[in-house]
Structure 1
């Protein structure tokens, strides 16, 4: 494929709206959480502080769009905590000549390693690097740096609060994992008609088992239709 064709196909793919991946309700919910921290912070602390708050809420909201089996509120809080720490350290490092590029390099290296944990951790860690570049401006005092870090973390708390009050598709990832398991089971049954020695693909079953590892809160609130079906598929 030529460079022109590759760039053309990439641009066409990037400009194509995949409605299967869109979720307007969750997008509106995330925007509401950003507004809840942006406008009060802008009125009370000015543009610089409002930027830290808005970036914290935005990145924490982005973390909740990742396919994860963890509660989305906990993802938002964890993302907000990471953003708060990175913002605080970035402002402290900006006051020492030559330290900020070193901190940025170490943070970027850690963000790269975070992808080994999973895509959600990788996305959040990578975004903390961009936030450090965007939010950190002139050297400030330790108290001011702490304030920027706290309002960035407050954005994650705001996202978690809105998610708790306005739940949308809380168990979508678990339902999809269970559906993929039974889809593979059905495909396996069809393959057996032609090949009695056919093997089942274990990956959907492994994903479903990972999805079934719930926190105590999730176990108490799990929908009834998600109980026991994975075990039946595994026994079959």
Structure 2
């Protein structure tokens, strides 16, 4: 079944990977809404200021998107934060903030989207994880744990929602050239690249292309999968 002009929601879609995904899908005719917190919404997209860690804010988000462009048919759960430190130096707040945004909020957003998709017996849920979930990442125990949790979430939901025509998949980016990764130290960046067979950072547009496929009709028999867009970083894990 080919669908055009779908209602799409991309969390954290105002910059970096999320913006590239949102712009890619919009360019192909979808109606795309994005959430943002601190920066202004990108031009040409329907922006909703939303703290996805707040249950009431998420409920209002889905109400606004439904009124503006219809019930969500494709959800890309991309919003995420980092609070890096070695575990022995990591505060409870560092742990809680990352788990709240990168895992608990994703569960919350997916729950709302699923309700809307069930009525149509069709939907695409795409969760943006990280190669850190599979390789581990010193100084990012909170982040890696949250991103690994998305895999269990997706595979459990694949069982729950598959009979209703809803697919649930994970994209796992490696080192992608964004504002966030440009802040990495030279040594840290070189460490990532030394473990990347292609020897270069990825582009946000390359992640967007993977998401576009998972959101397509052609990916209708693909669910519970993890698609690495990592230049080979963590391959086979």
The alignment's TM-score, normalised by the length of structure 1, stands at 0.23
- Higher relative CO (Cα under 8 Å, sequence separation at least 6) belongs to 1
Which of the pair is proportionally richer in helix? 1
TM-score, length of structure 2 as denominator length: 0.23
Structure label with greater radius of gyration: 1
